[in-house]
Amino acid sequence: VTNPPIDPFREKVVMSLQCPIGPEANILQPSALQVHRLWLKQPVISIADIEVFKHLSHRGWSSHVIDITFPVAEGAAGYLKKLQDICEEADNASKKHQIIILSDRKAGPERLPISSLVSLGAIHHHLIETRSRMKVALVVESGEAREVHHICVLLGYGADAICPYLALELASSLRDQGILDTSLTDETIYQNYAQAMQTGINK
């Protein structure tokens, strides 16, 4: 926070949402590994981007998807157990992979998603405690994130990138129904949405 506050429109030259993600090398031992990271222009990624992350193999990198849903029938006990399980799964994944994706895609009538914020916060702090947080990027694939505030809070809780798939799929559905301009492509919808999120985050 600055005083007076930065004007994101008139002073955008000093503001950036670029996100280097992935393992961070030791800053006390300068080497090429310090720049061996992925650079995103901004933290909101598209559905196509998240699919690329899931099948990543460039430069020996790989990703691991953690399902953050649990059976409805298990109730509160299942919720707590799943929360512990995903922390342990993330810790194990950090030893082999460079990107961990937290996904609630499997949510449905029989499976309840743990809040992406709760899951992210738990894993973020668990990896800090096990000294593994700097070894991986945490990417969130969530239907919960829709508004600027949602994105900002997830970033504050440790997300390196976020795919708000439900918002993007909803916009595409509205286009297909003729409610939005039918000439809009999925890429245009994403770019417009991402630009709106960027403006909100900067502000």
Domain boundaries 15-202, CATH class: alpha beta
Tens digits of residue pLDDT in 67-101: 999 999 999 999 999 999 999 999 999 999 999 99
The whole-model pTM stands at: 0.90
Tens digits of residue pLDDT in 15-37: 888 888 888 888 888 888 778 88
Q: Give me the phi and psi of 39, to 5 degrees please.
A: -110, 120
**1: confidence class by pLDDT, cuts 50, 70, 90:** low
By CB atoms closer than 10 A (0-12, 13-18, 19+), residue 99 is buried
Instruction: Check whether 126 has a pLDDT greater than 80.
Output: yes
Identify the H or E element spanning 53: helix 47-54
Tens digits of residue pLDDT in 34-57: 788 888 999 999 999 999 999 988
Q: DSSP character for 102? A: E
Residue ranges of domains in the chain: 15-202
| Averaged pLDDT of the chain | 91
* Of the ranges 14-23, 53-62, 167-176, the best mean pLDDT one: 167-176
What SS3 class is residue 83? helix
